[in-house]
Amino acid sequence: MRNEEISLNTKQELSAALKWTMEKKPLSKITVSELVRTCDINRNTFYYHFNDIYDLLKWTFEQEAIEVVKKINLLVNTEEAIRFVLDYVDKNQHIIRCAYDSIGYGELKRFFYADMVGIVRHAIDGAEREATIKLPADFKEFLSEFFTEALAGMMINWVHSPKKQTKEEIVQNLMIVLQTTLSQLIR
């Protein structure tokens, strides 16, 4: 095995150990000692890869965001992509809640932003094609940022507060908002 593969495997092991531990306790109570014990590695190995536990959490979110975005790019439509992200969020609620309590709303929103921006751009491109109109690049960028901020905020609120809506209701509401507002804005 090459050094890069070994390094990636070690990072992934630490990430899995962090996620597993986050199911049981708040992030602020998790120690490097616990994680290295779980992975059967030494502290120096941890610090070779990460500055601290928050650095590991950030890496974990970035890696998962990359995987989510890769899969979203393969999906055919906006609704399917939104469902995919909501499923991810639903499966990882405990980690997201724990991260929210530790790193706050802003940092967590940046994680969701990476996932949602691709979905929004896909929806805008579809609305452009449907209307046979080409939007100015700066307005298209504005729309992408505007809707991405809204969607990322909705994801965090859905996880962090008691669920007032089912996943299906959120998907339907988001699709109504995206389809009606985008088509009107583009026209």
Rounded to whole angstroms, what are the CA distances from 95 to 49, 67, 87, 104?
A: 21, 17, 14, 13
Provide the phi-psi class of 180: left if phi over 0, else alpha when psi is between -120 and 50, else beta.
alpha
Q: What are phi and psi of 163, to 5 degrees?
A: -70, 110
Q: Taken in order 81, 113, 149, 88, is the CA torsion positive or negative? A: positive
pLDDT in the model for residue 34: 95
| pTM over 0.75, yes/no | no
pLDDT of residue 121: 83
Residues 6+ apart with CB under 8 A from 167: 83, 86, 87, 90
Taking the C-alpha atoms of residue 53 and residue 31, their distance in angstroms, rounded to an integer, is 8
Determine the pLDDT at residue 84.
80
Question: Which pLDDT value is given to residue 119?
Answer: 76
Residues of the chain below pLDDT 70:
1, 65-66, 68-76, 114-115, 162-163
The pLDDT of residue 39 is 95
Report pLDDT for 162.
Answer: 63
**The pLDDT value given to residue 65:** 67
* Distance (Å) of CA 63 to CA 46, 68, 104: 17, 9, 19
What pLDDT does 72 receive? 64
**Cα–Cα distance measured from residue 146 to residue 157, given in angstroms and rounded to the nearest whole number:** 17
In 3D, which of 107, 66, 70, 78 has the Cα closest to residue 181? Answer: 78
